[in-house]
């Protein structure tokens, strides 16, 4: 493969790390690898991981890919990192991790969200300042939580990084952050692309926090080149670039070709996300939409729900079914699961904002209480929850003409049809199922072209390298669309009816 140019994309997620090696010459992925992650959790909403686990997983994934036959290490030009958003990685003055990283799905900081919001002057004022609310899961509340509950750790903190920033730090020794992932911290002004001093002051009036933030860089800029010890460890050229990288949603947008207005990406992963590119800030006055920047130079209005494959995996485990058997029996159930509805708030919920909520199976009878109906209801409940997110996007003028579906759930033909019917929109999957890692590799190529070849259009890159799997294209079935429209209204009624109880759960 000598004479080629290779680009490595790494996606460090909640459940594991995935990697791809992309060939510019061949126009395709040459190899992939993955490694699993552990998680620290409790019943009070704690969800944490040791950042060292991410480094160990990245090391294993990169090592495995580079050992594959046909991969020429000397042809590697750049590396891009995609990471789970919102996580807090506090470092001391020596660059050592102080405590495990609190993750996006950690909800034990819900009280701190309210406290910061009140100090700023309420939700409306927060949205005016940064374009977003202080949502449970975002980074800001995690920092205040540590300040209040672990003051010694807070006093040691000299730098706070996001997960993908920390992996970039491991690779380069540089502490930098780009606009896309930074906009998910809740202390970043998405309109002006700057850190927000008023939010810092609400967290810590001493001014300490403003000294603990990394340098901001644009999405097409490199963080730096790999450190000599990394080059030696992986036997790579010493001048391999590391691109800015970004959050997993921002990288998946690039990996699905979602870099111009009109395309919508939906992810059926642990959480559910739905988002679209915009060339201007899109701010929801109600605060349900996340007004993020993209990692492609624009903005990425996004809605996130906390429970998608969480719902199906919990049900599958409960029923002790293999994945194939789960899909098979769910396919045998009738549309609507014979009246069973699931509010899938197993991990609380971000949209609507119910961080302390719990899940509810509603409509159970002695006749419909079957494994098939519970399985299908788990899929339907997760999809109806994501449909609520699509409605939030539509309220801001974003209407999908095609949904590009990614995540583990996208591999199910039943689930693809369900999404098409509930959303009343055509669905198709990209050829590469690793949208985050693919996007990271494409951003790395974009960065390399900017630095070494005088620049290049990211849209041109994605048009060339992102292919759609037409065998997965699914059109909505009109009779099912009508039935699901009614079921969705029942879903909304149930959610609204139970909302006072769900808000009060602790």
Task: For strands 40-41 and 28-36, give the pairing.
Answer: unpaired
Tokens of 451: 């630095």
Handedness of CA 198, 202, 206, 212 (dihedral sign): negative
Nearest 5°: phi and psi at 351?
Answer: -135, 105
Closest by CA to 5, choosing from 504, 448, 470, 502, is: 448
In this structure, how many other beta carbons lie within 10 angstroms of the beta carbon of residue 301? 26
Output DSSP code: residue 349.
B
Distances (CA, A) of 235 to 71, 225, 230, 231: 12, 14, 8, 5
Burial of residue 489 (number of CB atoms within 10 Å: 0-12, 13-18, 19+):
exposed
Task: Measure the CA–CA gap between 270 and 36, rounded to whole angstroms.
Answer: 14
The set of catalytic residues is 248
For residues 466 and 256, give the distance between their C-alpha atoms in angstroms, rounded to a whole number.
Answer: 6
Token readout for 237 is 């050229």
Tell me the β-bridge partners of 90. 160
Question: Residue 426: is it exposed, middle or buried by C-beta count within 10 angstroms (0-12/13-18/19+)?
Answer: middle
Nearest to 196 by CA among 250, 244, 128: 128
By C-alpha distance, which of 484, 465, 378 is closest to 425?
A: 484
Instruction: Give the dihedral of Cα atoms 108, 265, 402, 220; nearest 10 deg.
Output: 150
């Amino acid at each position: 493969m000598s004479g080629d140019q290779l680009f490595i994309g790494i996606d460090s997620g909640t459940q594991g790390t995935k990697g791809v090696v992309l060939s510019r010459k061949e126009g395709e992925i040459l190899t992939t690898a993955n490694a699993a992650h552990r998680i620290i959790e409790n019943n009070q909403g704690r969800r944490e991981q040791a950042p060292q686990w991410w480094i160990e997983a990245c090391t294993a994934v990169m090592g495995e890919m580079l050992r594959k036959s046909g991969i020429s290490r000397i042809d590697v030009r750049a590396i891009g990192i995609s990471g789970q958003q919102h996580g807090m990685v506090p470092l001391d003055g020596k660059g050592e991790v102080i405590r495990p990283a609190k993750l996006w799905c950690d909800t034990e900081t819900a009280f701190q969200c309210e406290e910061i919001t009140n100090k700023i002057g309420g939700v409306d004022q927060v949205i005016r300042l940064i374009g977003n609310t202080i949502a449970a899961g975002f980074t800001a509340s995690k920092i205040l939580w540590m300040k209040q509950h672990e003051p010694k750790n807070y006093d040691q903190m000299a730098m706070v990084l996001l997960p993908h920033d920390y992996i970039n730090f491991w690779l380069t020794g540089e502490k930098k952050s780009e606009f896309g992932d930074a906009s998910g911290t809740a202390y970043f002004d998405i309109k002006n692309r700057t850190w927000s001093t008023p939010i810092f002051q609400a967290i810590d009036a001493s001014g300490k926090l403003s000294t603990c933030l990394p340098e901001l860089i644009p999405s097409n800029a490199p963080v730096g080149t790999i450190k000599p010890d990394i080059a030696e460890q992986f036997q790579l050229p010493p001048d391999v670039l590391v691109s800015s990288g970004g959050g997993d949603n921002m990288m998946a947008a690039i990996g699905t070709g979602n870099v111009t207005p009109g395309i919508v990406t939906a992810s059926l992963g642990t959480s559910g996300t739905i988002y679209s590119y915009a060339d201007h800030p899109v701010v929801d006055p109600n605060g349900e939409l996340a007004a993020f920047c993209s990692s492609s130079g624009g903005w990425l209005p996004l809605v996130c729900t906390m429970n998608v494959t969480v719902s199906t995996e919990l049900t599958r485990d409960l029923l002790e079914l293999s994945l194939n058997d789960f899909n098979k029996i769910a396919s045998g159930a009738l549309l609507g699961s014979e009246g069973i509805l699931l509010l899938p708030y197993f991990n609380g919920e971000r949209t609507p904002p119910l961080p302390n909520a719990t899940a509810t199976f509603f409509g159970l009878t002695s006749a419909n209480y079957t494994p098939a109906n519970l399985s299908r209801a788990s899929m339907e409940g997760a999809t109806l929850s994501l449909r609520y997110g699509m409605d939030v996007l539509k309220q801001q003028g974003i209407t999908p003409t095609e949904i590009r579906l990614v995540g583990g759930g996208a591999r199910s033909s039943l689930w693809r049809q369900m999404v098409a019917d509930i959303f009343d929109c055509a669905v198709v999957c990209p050829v590469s199922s690793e949208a985050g890692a693919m996007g990271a590799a494409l951003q790395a190529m974009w960065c390399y072209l900017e630095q070494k070849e005088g620049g290049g259009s990211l849209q041109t890159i994605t048009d060339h390298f992102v292919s759609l799997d037409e065998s997965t294209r699914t059109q909505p079935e009109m009779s099912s669309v009508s039935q699901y429209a009614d079921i969705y209204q029942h879903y909304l009624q149930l959610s609204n009816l139970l909302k006072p109880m769900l808000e009060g759960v602790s």
